[in-house]
Amino acid sequence: MQVLEGIKIIELVQMPPGELCTMILGDFGADITKVEAVPQASGRNLIDPAEAEGFKALMAFNALNRNKKSIRLNLKSEQGKQVFYGLAKDADVVVEGFRPGVAKRMGVDYETINKINPRIVYCALSGYGQDGPYSQNPGHDINYISIAGALNLIGWPGQPPVIPLNFLADFAGASLHGVMGIMLALFAREKTGKGQFVDISYTDSVITLMTFFLQQYFGGGLKFPRGEWALGGGYPYYKTYETGDGKLISLGCVEPWFWENLCKAIGREDLKVFSFTPEHFLHKPPDATWYEAEEEVKKIFLTKTRNEWFDILIKHDVPAGKVYEMDEIFSDPQLLHRKMLLEFDHAKLGKVRQPGIALKLSDTPGRVRRLAPYSGENTDEVMQSLGYSSPDIESLRKANAIG
């Protein structure tokens, strides 16, 4: 048994953050139907990827859409809407990622679906939330983390901020907050018998991720200048160093005893005095010897390879990590032990690899039941489950209501 077995989810998203949200729920047993547009009915679909056989095979690597079925609906047509309403009547959750107001114009908004199914949990993921002066603004991760204040903290002094890909607002923010919001609403439904609307803002989510920093700003006025504080790479005990083989190793010696362990490991116990102090949250010490100490550590790390240093540092109880390239990640014994790499046999591609499942539940673990479908792969199957006959399905396809 899986914990979400029997929970039916309709996915109405086009972007990876929404797909990751539902992927996590699907890994734990949710039955997910991904509703995609009929290409001819969408001005933004220039090609039909389902027509390319090579593309179909590559969908096996699409972990974001594993454990899902795909149906194509033309929600601009009344017939397509009726099919969606049929799905919604028996669903538990709808997840959509449109700009606020779009779902209403399409006739698939919360108010409409709630009348059909009062138990529905309807989760809307949007950049700035469903209301407020920015609700209609376009945006992406870089914009959301800018407004939430996170981007300005990342990087080096006197240089523009470093853009952290789209990890923060998209995936740590919207995806994971979407999962939490849906699960909380389902839990509430067990008590009330009613569904509800879940409004997830990418930007709001980043504010939550900023809590540790904001509480110190509110309490003590700390602004964490970029690259000049304890956890931003401003000190020798918390940063990356190049090793003799041209690779990088990371140190996380914030606690003074870990820095002392490092100094012992590299044979420079005289550097123990350069450990963390509370003032490092405020500013860098004016004493230039801090920079000299960092230069000494840099020289020492160049004397051995990354793997040699890693073994030495771990032996001395030093928080250290190899800074992996993409092709090194899944040779790591810890990640392999934790089953964070999954492999599947594919008829055309052989071994297909995907990221593993991070949430480890002892009694109801997650698992991958099926690889990602190509767009529209399950249209007939889903239509038949709703009671449509083969002639009905063919008629709707000819009318461009389904695909």
Structure tokens at 317: 């109880």
Packing angle, helices 176-192 and 16-27, rounded to 10: 50
Residues 6+ apart with CB under 8 A from 34: 11, 22, 65, 68, 69, 70, 71, 373
CB environment 44-58: b (16+ within 10 A), e (fewer):
eeeeebbeeeeebeb
The pLDDT assigned to 284 comes to 75
What letter would DSSP give residue 312? H
> Which part of the chain has CATH 3.30.1540.10?
240-331
| pLDDT per residue as tens digits for the range 243-301 | 999 999 999 999 999 999 999 999 999 999 999 988 887 777 777 788 899 999 999 99
Structure tokens at 95: 């997840």
Is residue 26 classed exposed, middle or buried when 0-12, 13-18 and 19+ CB atoms within 10 A define those classes? buried
Residue 377 has, within 13 A of its CA and on its CB side, a CA count of: 21
The pLDDT assigned to 51 comes to 54
- What strand order describes the sheet that includes 68-73? 68-73, 31-37, 8-12, 93-96, 121-126, 197-201
pTM score, whole prediction: 0.94
The pLDDT assigned to 278 comes to 86
Residues of the chain falling short of pLDDT 50: 45-46
Distance CA 26, CA 8 (A): 10
Tell me which residue has tokens 């591609």: 349
CA distance to 15, 47, 225, 379, per residue, from 57 (Å): 21, 17, 48, 18
> Which part of the chain has CATH 3.40.50.10540?
8-210+339-398
Residue of 18, 35, 361, 29 lying closest to 181 (CA atoms): 18
The architecture of the domain spanning 240-331 is 2-Layer Sandwich (3.30)
Contact between 219 and 211 under an 8 Å Cβ cutoff? The reply is no
Residue of 318, 320, 319, 340 lying closest to 329 (CA atoms): 340
| pLDDT per residue as tens digits for the range 198-231 | 999 999 999 999 999 999 999 989 899 899 888 9
Contact between 240 and 162 under an 8 Å Cβ cutoff? The reply is no
Residues 6+ apart with CB under 8 A from 238: 230, 231, 251, 252, 253, 254
The pLDDT assigned to 345 comes to 92
CB atoms within 10 A of CB 182: 27
The pLDDT assigned to 46 comes to 45
| pLDDT per residue as tens digits for the range 33-49 | 999 999 877 555 445 55
Residue of 158, 283, 311 lying closest to 221 (CA atoms): 283
Q: The domain 8-210+339-398: what is its CATH number?
A: 3.40.50.10540
Query: In the beta sheet, which residues pair with residue 122?
Result: 94, 197
